[in-house]
A = this chain, B = another copy of it.
Amino acid sequence: MAALPHPEPLSGESYSAVELGLRDDEVILLDQRYLPSEERYLRLTRTAQVAEAIRSMVVRGAPAIGITAAYGMVLAAAEAEAADAPALLQAAAQQLKETRPTAVNLAWAVDRMLALVPSTSRSALRSAFAAEARAIHREDVAACRKMGALGAEHVPDGATILTHCNAGALATGGYGTALGVIRAARDAGKRVRVLADETRPYLQGARLTAWELHKSGIAVEVICDGGSGYWFGRGEITLSVVGADRIAANGDVANKIGTYTVACLSLLHARPFYVAAPWSTVDLACPSGAQIPIEFRDAREMTDVPFADLERADRASRAQSEPGSAPPNEIQAHPAGRQRWVPDGVGVLNPAFDVTPAAYVTRLFTERGVFSPAQLRQGAQPGGGA
């Protein structure tokens, strides 16, 4: 268990999914693949490493990868100060955007950085980018707190809340979207109990949501994904709340695979299904869920025993490195498990996201207000929302 190597994290927690080093020269990432076994940080100094970290799920969650990409652009700006800035920054932006296709926050954050280029002198690029990236980070935490407070009004005292995947501090700049709603309800004095879907194949619920809620003293129990129907059927689930990777203009919501199943169960059992997301997740240029690209990930996430070999690979890599060498700054590829769970020759379908139609969404919680999907466009209007 290593401490966060940053004295003033913007996350507002003792841990952080992502921070920019104080000298703007490194991106600090919690390697979430090791959780809950180990709290382990990577310190990355090159944009290519940051891109690989996003691709490899060292960091995940739409807002968090947006912030990470913005910080990755700071590293690119440092390189660009001594080179052909526009071309280098465009290449870095492209590299970062290509890492994951579904979350819109990634492109949104990178484009926000690129917008600074025309008005910034080359020598000021790094500091301008660092300031803007930190602003994105701070705004995200503030947005989480705001939507949390708004969403918490929809959580009754004594609620049992189902959540899927991890939409918490680990998936954002800090505080969390769906888990921010739960934190805010608890902080408002409401008794809440959380059922966390384990969320195959990557187990973000079992590993990450359970970890951060437990750390915050919020009652959480893990269930398997297929098990949520059982608890709905018994009437034990008051409401569901999840995050989002992209929200289309019509209110359709792309989120972690399995979310649509939770929405279907909510509808059939007449329980509210809430989505909490910052406005940076809303893509008004995308007319409906049908236009959201769905990432299909490596079959090995499902066929092999995940994570079990991380410690072994880590021991091997430590054994190879010099005593007293610097902290790790290379991303290991997803390690192949020693034992496969799926027979050789059998195909696996591993879409990483699904789309929940707007009609299944009771309310969207954003920092600009609480909307029904039909009201979503109001958030784009001045004075809209709330």
Contacts and interface: CB of A to CB of B under 8 A. Distances in A.
Contacts of A210: 342-343, 346
Interface in A240-264: 256-264
A176 to B, nearest CB: 16
Contacts of A258: 224-227, 229
Contact of A227 (B198, B233, B343, B349): B349
A31 interface: no
A343 B346 CA distance: 32
A270 to B, nearest CB: 12
Contact of A342 (B36, B259, B261, B262): B36
A81 interface: no
A211 interface: yes
A345 interface: yes
Interface in A279-305: 302-303, 305
The count of identical subunits is 2
A359 to B, nearest CB: 12
Most buried by B among A207, A263, A343: A343
A220 B346 contact: yes
Contact of A36 (B220, B263, B264, B343): B343
A379 interface: no
Contacts of A200: 198, 200, 224-226
B221 A348 contact: yes
25 contacts: A37-B339, A200-B200, A206-B303, A207-B341, A207-B343, A211-B346, A220-B346, A221-B349, A222-B302, A222-B346, A223-B349, A224-B225, A224-B350, A225-B226, A226-B261, A227-B257, A227-B354, A229-B261, A229-B263, A231-B349, A264-B264, A267-B268, A268-B268, A311-B338, A311-B339
